[in-house]
Amino acid sequence: MCGIIGYVTGALDASGESAVHKLLYGLEQLRSRGYDSAGIAVQEHGALYRVRTTGDVQSLVPGLEVNGFMQSRCGIAHTRWATHGGRTVENAHPHSDKDERSMLVHNGVVDNYLALKKELEAGGYEFASQTDTESIILLIRDVYEKSGKKNLFQATKEALKRVEGTFAIALIHADYPDTIIAARRGSPLVIGVGNGEQYVASEAYAFAKYTQTVVYLDDNDVALIRPNEHVIESIEHSRRVIREQRTLQLATYNVELGAYPKHTLREIHRQPQAIVDAIRGRYVREDGRAHLGGLHSSSDALYEAERVYLVGAGTAGHAAEVGQWIFDRFAPSKDVQTYTPDEFLDRSLKLLPGRDVVFVISQSGETADTLKTLGEAQSRGVLALGIVNAVESSIARATNAGVYLRIGPEIGVASTGAFTAQLAVLLLTALYIGRRHDLHRDIGIAAIEALERVPERIDWVLRLEEEIRALAYKYATFNGCFFLGRGYNKPLAKEGALKLLELSYVQAQPLSLKEMKHGFIARVSKEFPAIVLAPQDVYYKDALNNIQELVSRECPVLALVTEGDRDVRDMVSDVIEIPALIAGEDQLFNIFPEAVAMQLFAYYTAEARGCDIDKPRHLAKSVTVG
């Protein structure tokens, strides 16, 4: 979602990089979160100045250069993803009090902002934006002035006691040179400790180039940050607290576009290597066992648990739904249930310590509602484990243990490589549990051998790219479609529909094959095609029957079929082939090439429709508000 970066130094270093240079760099690193506006505020000669834009981050530069801010030593910056108020300069961060003596950036949602706004307006304050954020900066100013302007740090703590909801903030004030005040509740914030300089950001990637020493703020922490020190106190009890300094464990990844026109396409093509990275060193082929070091400390609890909950939102939620099929196949002794975070929270009273285990799944590790799931499980004494990509994320730090995807950062907002990596990790996790119970060694060996072949099968699909591109351009004229599948293919159909919707804005309706007859068939027409997942598996006859019903009603059908399938090819308008399974290979392994084929189709549909593929409208990479 929104991105925060702040920087303060006592003097410019030998490189000559000022606050503005480092703030711009930080915003570029946070761009994968998605944003619709951006802004920077700096301290300069006893005053504050800001530049805001509804364009991209680089469009801030001319305003900064013209006004001579490029040598500033302290500042804050932000990329906004709109929650309250539209995409306008007035709604862009940083927000200011009326005389621009204080400025603030904010991630999160203020639940009681309307009540605060009404109170502040009654006290004579005027609001310049439609945002909930402005209520925070004006409330801090109000408390500060009523205290006689004695202590901004204390005034900030007092003001934040009255804020309901979630926030991560960074604040600068003209009266406090070379100083940033930062605080968090329910939204991530991390301090970077350098030599005579300090950073604060919503993600450590924003400053990892400059320092690897970090301090993570906990909920209700407020920090006073200066070039050579930071002091942290609790909003609740105003006592100083000590947070551990840590060394970042961020691997270095190449995220340059190279020959690819978009990051999303690069990430689709990188999936064979991403799967290799996700599974490397995590299995013993000869014994059909998974070796997951991150779960070692929890192995007994996993063995003894009766129920396993898989919880995720969006793409991670679809991975969880496929994961239920994977667990049913490779860890059949466990009762596995899949929920979205809100569904899980509604049913959390049923959790039983010692009998239940919860896996929370998130690409970013910062998904707000998934974090609530984690906290609820832990509050009930239930073992909570994570499947995440970001090593230093909130979920990674808060879970008892877990498994990392190890695929590196995704820049494209719509997740692609993380989905297939989540499937691979879920498969290894099911083997890890299943082989400790009664899963036969030969089934485990066959599964691992099939998993080793997944990169080749994805490569097979990637070689069909031009064929898929042509089909996407053909179907791009339609404004809606069905996505149909059964069994493990139903959650895959949901993910295919989501990708098409995210990237191209085509309204895609996912359904089980058998659901079509129950009302939805009324929508079938020449103008509303169906995309059917129809590999030669146990549901193949159902797929044939449904395809025949669609075709008889003049519905254009694009089917994903097993290579060489002439029966479906002769029935439908178009097909995309996926590689056939080898003898004895489990049908579940169709999920990987099918997922990649659907990603390519969605990508090129979006290209044909002229969409901003890497940054789809209204979307954020990391949904840090509930």
Tell me the pLDDT tens digit for each residue of 171-180. 999 999 999 9
Q: Which helix (H) or strand (E) holds 245?
A: strand 245-247
Confirm whether 2 is a catalytic residue: yes
Q: What is the mean pLDDT of the chain?
A: 89
CATH code at 3-247: 3.60.20.10
CB-CB contact of 447 with 427 (8 Å): yes
Encoded tokens for 79: 């990329």
Kindly list the distances between the CA atom of residue 329 and the CA atoms of 239, 336, 447, 493, in Å, as whole numbers in the listed order.
52, 11, 10, 20
Is the Cα dihedral 147, 149, 151, 153 positive or negative?
A: positive
- In the set 22, 157, 490, 621, the catalytic residue is 621
pTM comes to 0.84
Fold of 253-463: Rossmann fold (3.40.50)
In the structure, what pLDDT confidence band is assigned to residue 626 with cuts at 50, 70 and 90? very low
> Length of the chain, please?
626
DSSP lists the bridge partners of residue 42 as 49, 75
What 3-state class would DSSP assign to 562?
strand
Confirm whether 621 is a catalytic residue: yes
Single out the residue of 612, 530, 623, 626 nearest to residue 572, CA to CA. Answer: 530
Kindly list the distances between the CA atom of residue 477 and the CA atoms of 264, 465, 471, 505, in Å, as whole numbers in the listed order.
22, 19, 11, 12
Of 288 and 58, the structure prediction assigns the larger pLDDT to 288
In the structure, what pLDDT confidence band is assigned to residue 320 with cuts at 50, 70 and 90? very high
Weakest-pLDDT range from 64-78, 89-103, 543-557, 592-606: 64-78
In the structure, what pLDDT confidence band is assigned to residue 603 with cuts at 50, 70 and 90? very high
- The rounded distance, in Å, linking the Cα atoms of 35 and 262 is 17
In the structure, what pLDDT confidence band is assigned to residue 253 with cuts at 50, 70 and 90? low
Please give the single-letter amino acid code of residue 99: D
- The rounded distance, in Å, linking the Cα atoms of 190 and 390 is 14
Q: Which helix (H) or strand (E) holds 387?
A: strand 383-388
- In the set 2, 74, 481, 611, the catalytic residue is 2
| Domain residue ranges in the chain | 3-247, 253-463, 475-614
- Angle between the N-to-C axes of helices 591-608 and 441-462, in degrees from 0 to 180, rounded to the nearest 10: 20
| Residue 358 burial class via C-beta count within 10 angstroms: exposed 0-12, middle 13-18, buried 19 and up | buried
What 3-state class would DSSP assign to 196?
coil
Single out the residue of 539, 501, 492, 548 nearest to residue 521, CA to CA. Answer: 548
398-446: per-residue pLDDT in tens? 887 899 998 887 888 899 999 999 999 999 999 999 999 989 999 999 9
Tell me what the mean pLDDT of segment 19-26 comes to: 88
CATH code at 475-614: 3.40.50.10490
CB burial of 470-503 (b: ≥16 within 10 Å; e: otherwise) equals ebbebbbebeebbbbbbbbbbbbbbbbbbbbbbb
Tell me what the mean pLDDT of segment 564-589 comes to: 93
- Angle between the N-to-C axes of helices 591-608 and 417-434, in degrees from 0 to 180, rounded to the nearest 10: 170
| Residue 155 burial class via C-beta count within 10 angstroms: exposed 0-12, middle 13-18, buried 19 and up | buried
CB-CB contact of 605 with 503 (8 Å): yes
In the structure, what pLDDT confidence band is assigned to residue 109 with cuts at 50, 70 and 90? confident
168-213: per-residue pLDDT in tens? 999 999 999 999 999 999 888 999 999 999 999 988 888 988 998 9
Same fold yes or no, 3-247 and 253-463: no
